[in-house]
Structure 1
Amino acid sequence: MKEKRVIGWLELIIGVIFLISAFVSFANPTSALKTFVILFGITAIMKGIGSIVGYFRIKHLSGMGIVLALVTGVLDILIGVLFLTNLASGVFTLGILFALWILLDSVTGLSNIGFLKDISTGMYWLYLVLNILSLIMGVLLLFNPIVAALTMSMIVGIYFLIFGVQFIIYALYKF
């Protein structure tokens, strides 16, 4: 009996969003960079509020709060406000943060592809190459944040393109 192949809709949607983000980055790099900074600022503020709310919920339930959650929440809010009020600082800092994000995602991807060897050699090599390229890009960004800030839209566009393709392939190729 042949097993029915199912599309991974969540992975497909994420992949398409990554591809759209890549093409927006390529089409209008200056606006994309400012948008990244603003979105990161808003996201940092929302994350900070979530961490602070989480701190008080845990404290209410258990009688003790995780102080690190409170401190992290306040720092997230301050970083978010800094990004929203000073785009230049946000662009520079974002270069470093994106470098770290890309490095973390690439290392995670490399550490998780071992299972593909037994399933699909082609898929294994594709993921290996894409994650190595992302790793190299992350290292280059990390060691030169000024260049990273100036070329971020293109680099982020390439990153979004690589991971968009990975998500779409994963969505269509069920293991």
Structure 2
Amino acid sequence: MRRHSGFGWLELIIGILLVILGIWALAAPGIALKSMVFAYGLAAVIMGIADIVLFIEVDRYTGLGPVIALVSGILSVMSGIMLLVYPTAGALVLTLLFPIWFIAHCMSRLSHLGYIRLVCGDGVYYFTMIIHIIGLILGFLMLFSPLLTFTSIHYFASAYLILLGIDSMVTAMSPMGTRR
């Protein structure tokens, strides 16, 4: 039986929370925007922390962590805190922050693809690559079409949070999440 490292457990917990959050947001479309702002603020903080931890783990393993992971992690944490502290302003700014968060997170995860392929193998590599390329496309689509973002953010966010959760769980169960 493989023992999971602290990183593996963190990714697994994050994955489960993101899937639950995505299903909850999809199942309850009538929830007030303020609640969504809070939920996505919390998700941004959690995922930002995961990006920072991933930077540290990659740096420890290879000696050279992708700086973009650290930067996007810090931006995710800052965006999440802003959404949690100022939910009313967050509801208005969400149409701009959410696409930026999508893009930053996807770029961060794409910057680790070499490490993911080395440690986890081709299956996790391609799965991660496809999910985050889709996320980049959605992020840019939402960024350049604020009306689309405002009217459909609920569906984009719900579906993508579920995909991010699955990606985190797959990563946690891969060799990357095991203790060496």
TM-score tier by shorter-chain length is: 0.5 to 0.7
* Contact 2:34–2:91 (8 Å) recurs in 1: yes
TM-score under structure 1 length normalisation: 0.67
Q: Any unmatched runs of 5+ in structure 1?
A: 44-72
1:104 aligned partner, one-letter code: A
| Aligned counterparts, 1:137-156, within 5 A | 137-156=138-157
**What SS class does the counterpart of residue 29 from structure 1 fall into?**
coil
**What SS class does the counterpart of residue 31 from structure 1 fall into?**
coil
**Identity rate, percent:** 28
| Aligned counterparts, 1:56-71, within 5 A | none
* Contact 1:16–1:164 (8 Å) recurs in 2: yes
**What SS class does the counterpart of residue 5 from structure 1 fall into?**
coil
2:97 aligned partner, one-letter code: L
Residue 3 (structure 2) pairs with residue 6 (structure 1): yes
**What SS class does the counterpart of residue 91 from structure 2 fall into?**
helix
- How many residues are paired up? 136
TM-score under structure 2 length normalisation: 0.65
RMSD (Å), alpha carbons: 2.9
* Contact 2:21–2:161 (8 Å) recurs in 1: yes
Alpha-carbon distance between aligned partners in 2 of 1:117 and 1:41, rounded to the nearest angstrom: 30
Aligned residue number for residue 66 of structure 1: none
* Contact 1:24–1:32 (8 Å) recurs in 2: no
Q: How far is the alpha carbon of 1:35 from its aligned partner? A: 0.7
Alpha-carbon distance between aligned partners in 2 of 1:168 and 1:40, rounded to the nearest angstrom: 19
Deviation track 1:108-158 (CA, whole Å, cap 9, x = no partner) reads: 111111123334111111111011011011111111122212211111111
Q: How far is the alpha carbon of 1:18 from its aligned partner? A: 0.1
**What SS class does the counterpart of residue 24 from structure 2 fall into?**
helix
Q: How far is the alpha carbon of 1:38 from its aligned partner? A: 4.4
Alpha-carbon distance between aligned partners in 1 of 2:39 and 2:25, rounded to the nearest angstrom: 14
* Contact 2:22–2:159 (8 Å) recurs in 1: yes
Q: Any unmatched runs of 5+ in structure 2?
A: 44-77
Distance 1:32-1:13 versus aligned 2 partners, 3 A rule = farther
Larger radius of gyration: 1
1:95 aligned partner, one-letter code: T
Q: How far is the alpha carbon of 1:32 from its aligned partner? A: 5.9
Alpha-carbon distance between aligned partners in 1 of 2:41 and 2:24, rounded to the nearest angstrom: 19
Deviation track 1:1-34 (CA, whole Å, cap 9, x = no partner) reads: xxx5123222111110000001011111231633
2:2 aligned partner, one-letter code: R
Moved over 6 A (4+): 40-43
Deviation track 1:20-70 (CA, whole Å, cap 9, x = no partner) reads: 001011111231633122457899xxxxxxxxxxxxxxxxxxxxxxxxxxx
Deviation track 1:60-95 (CA, whole Å, cap 9, x = no partner) reads: xxxxxxxxxxxxx9xx87x944x33xxxx6434102
